[in-house]
A and B are shown apart, each in its own frame.
Chain A
Amino acid sequence: MSAVLAGLGVDRPMTILLLLLIPLVASGLTAVTRSRRMMESIHLLSALAAFGTAILLAAEVLANGESSSWSGYLYADSLSALVVLLAAFVYLVCAPYSIGYLRTDERNQVFGSEENGNMSLVKLRKYYTLTPLLAFSMFLVAVASNLGVMWVALEGTTLASIFLVTFYGRPTSLEAAWKYAMIGGVGLSMALFGTILTYYEVHQALGAESLTALSWQVITSHAAKFDHTVMRLAFILILLGYGTKAGLAPMHTWKPDAYSEAPAPVAALLSAAVLNSAMYALARFYVITVRCLGPSFPSQLLILFGLLSIGIAVPFILVQRSYRRLLAYSSIDHGGIMVLALGFGGVLGPLGMMLHMTFHSVTKPLLFFCAGNAQQRTGHDSLRKTAGGLLHTLPVSGPVFLLAALAVTGTPPFSLFQSEFLILRAGFSAHHEGWTALFVAMLVAIFGGFFYHISQLVLGPPNGPPDTETCKWKTYPVIGLAAVVVLMGFWLPGPVYALVKGAAQILTVHP
């Protein structure tokens, strides 16, 4: 047995392989299941198992510094382990919520009337097969050691989620999916061009070492030898390409559409986990570029795109009409903050970025859950039509919505305040005083707009009969995640912080 395994190249712990297999198996099983109960239990179990495996992988990486399997094709260091852990966490919290969400949809006859019971089963199967595939692609992005495979996996996240965006089959969801597919497709083809150019440099520097040549460890160790013109071009293409996937301005236009048309748990996954995958890919190339060109060229570009994204979000948040789109613009804003932190560099910049990524992934799903509950209750996501009073009609999600809005805009004592403060310090220590001041001003404006809209929505006199929120599947994830968000403001578990620090170390430039 062990000889067979060794022959397959499996001579190390197989945590990474297991991590990739779990969602694949779950997706395959769901595709052949006939009962919805079975689909739901498979989904829950796979999310639990994936999270457990992600913790195992993180522990392995913390103990050994790295973990690899399958002759080095799959490789994880602290950065990968952190991204995997966050993706698995979001997948885990979305699993129970999506069960409640889809059951409510079915009760509201969103999928068609009663006699069309088959239709709803088809819809459910679509959701429960595609979501694990999305999780699989996200895990693969983080653990692929080959930059080309990483690109393939990132394209996979788009492909797996297109039909989740068209889930409700409305004309507007088709529009959103079309923009998502086309803008994403063009963006990723630019990233592929950048990857090809990088590969060309490796080929020039090392000769035809065909299979390991795109592995990012090899590339970073030889990056100093690369041609500067080519790498500059490659980094611009990569930034535009993966920046499109991350929704940086001005390539962000697909984001509000896709996030507002997709079901709430899918939007949570896209916003809190897929965003990290794109950031991860960008960060890997940032390290290579810095090794080749020095920090100043990539930093300037990153600061530019970061500030532009935060800046674009400001007016759209201030005059927003729909709260789902409001959340999407908040996601563009946070993507911009992460890129800005990376651009500030130094020791604090990468640390701020990694902390921000962690806290954002924990907080964002909560907002989408509350928004989803509110939308299912009122039947629309318009800020104008809703006369307020969610506090009374939704006794659980209403107040939590307000709390989550405070948390996501970086109000103390919530955790995002800490990471934003750290990024502020990074900006000052990198002597970007002007940009940092602008950053703070825009954060304040976003806080104002966001808080105004959400408080209009939540506070106010009761409007309609109170809802006791009986669906446990929809309220318990909200309560549980809210507890985690509050807790994170005061206490970040030691191992997680060690992982964050390790990841930041990888992105730190040592001149």
Chain B
Amino acid sequence: MFFWQDPQFGDRMITLMAALVLVLQIMMVGQRWLVTNIRAFALQSLLLAGISCTIAYFNDARDLYIAAALMLLLKALLLPVMLRRLVARIEIRREIEPLVNVPLSVLISGLLTLLAYVVAEPLQARPAMGAAGLGRNTLPVAIALFLIGFFMMINRRKALTQVLALLSLENGLFLAAISLTYGMPMIVEVGIFFDVLVAVMILAILVYRIRETFDSMDVSRLSRLRG
């Protein structure tokens, strides 16, 4: 048996990749360059596709290969390219301006990660299922991605950066789905990816039009409708 066929090796790989995913998420909170943010998102999606493939290989879950392929094509390649084009087209002058300053944001992300581990505790205590019970330890990471994505959405003022936050929040959902149940049924998986794609296209058009109309992407200027 080669060392890469050992489930324990797979488990370590998954843990490593999940850790990197979490680091990337916190990095997105902590840095200001929009283009770097898009790159971090692409890399995160790539790692998630890797986790998905590893679980598929060791647990013999064929469907997950398709999920991984969709992840790779849509979120690691297509969407980052689209977003990069949008950034180039609307000539963003200023970069991400979070409401809470960077050190405090990173601290809050750390606390949210802690919270995620507390929430995931009862779910992890149950007996594992599947061939090797692989990937269960990534659930706290998934919840952390979800919570930090949520925090990023509140913390950011620019329309495009909010879209990125929503996308990374959805990456958390993807990780939860593959780590808990080895993926949703195929038809659901395809439907969700389709929805994400359409949603991002629609949001990109909205971002563009907000930029044209208000000469800014600052969504705090969208405050005329009240009461």
Which chain A residues have a beta carbon within 8 Å of chain B's beta carbons?
Answer: 73, 146, 148-149, 151-152, 155-156, 159, 162-163, 166, 169, 171-172, 174-179, 181-182, 185-186, 189, 192-193, 196-197, 199-200, 203-204, 207-208, 210-211, 213-214, 227, 229-230, 233, 256-257, 260-261, 316, 319-321, 325
Which of chain A's residues has its CB closest to B150's CB? A186
With A and B bound together, what is the CA distance between A242 and B34 in angstroms?
Answer: 32
How many B residues, CB 8 Å from partner? 44
Known: A175-B222, A229-B122, A230-B123. A149 touches B206 (CB 8 A): no
CB-CB nearest in chain A for B209: A174
Set of chain B residues within 8 Å of A260, measured between Cβ atoms: 225
A147 CB to nearest chain B CB (Å):
8
B176 touches A186 (CB 8 A): no
Taking CB atoms, residues of chain A closer than 8 Å to B122 are 229-230
Contact indicator B177/A172 (Cβ below 8 Å): no
* A200 contacts across to B, CB distance below 8 A: 123, 180-181
Min Cβ gap A205→B in Å is 11
Contact yes or no, A176 B225, CB < 8 A: yes
B159 at the interface (CB under 8 A from A): yes
Give the contact stretch, choosing among B46-54, B95-103, B182-190.
B182-190
- A316, closest chain B residue (CB): B227
Given known contacts A178-B222, A179-B222, A203-B181, A162 and B162 CB-to-CB distance under 8 angstroms: no
Interfacial residues of chain B within 143-187, with CB under 8 A of chain A in the complex: 146, 150, 153, 159, 162, 166, 169-170, 173, 176-177, 180-182, 184-187
Assess the B169–A186 pair: CB atoms within 8 A: yes
CA distance A176 to B222 in the complex (A): 8
* A175 in contact with B173 given A163-B202, A182-B166, A200-B181 (CB within 8 Å): no
Q: Give Cα A166–Cα B207 distance, bound, in whole angstroms.
A: 12
* Residue in B closest to A170 when the chains form the complex, CB atoms: B213
Q: Which residue of the partner chain, among A176, A185, A203, contacts B166 with CB atoms under 8 Å?
A: A185
A186→B153 contact, CB < 8 A: yes
Given contacts A155-B195, A159-B195, A230-B123, contact A174 B213 (CB under 8 A): yes
Sample of 16 A–B contacts (CB below 8 Å): A146-B185, A146-B187, A149-B191, A172-B225, A174-B209, A175-B224, A182-B153, A186-B153, A186-B166, A197-B180, A203-B129, A204-B129, A207-B129, A210-B185, A211-B185, A214-B188
Let me know if B173 and A192 touch, CB within 8 A: yes
Shortest distance from the beta carbon of B42 to any chain A beta carbon, whole Å: 20
Chain A residues contacting B169 (CB-CB under 8 Å) are 186, 189
In the complex, are the beta carbons of B181 and A199 less than 8 A apart? yes
Q: A172-B224, A175-B224, A181-B199 are in contact. List 13 more A-B contacts (CB 8 A).
A: A152-B195, A155-B195, A163-B202, A169-B209, A178-B159, A178-B210, A182-B162, A196-B177, A210-B63, A211-B185, A227-B126, A229-B123, A257-B225
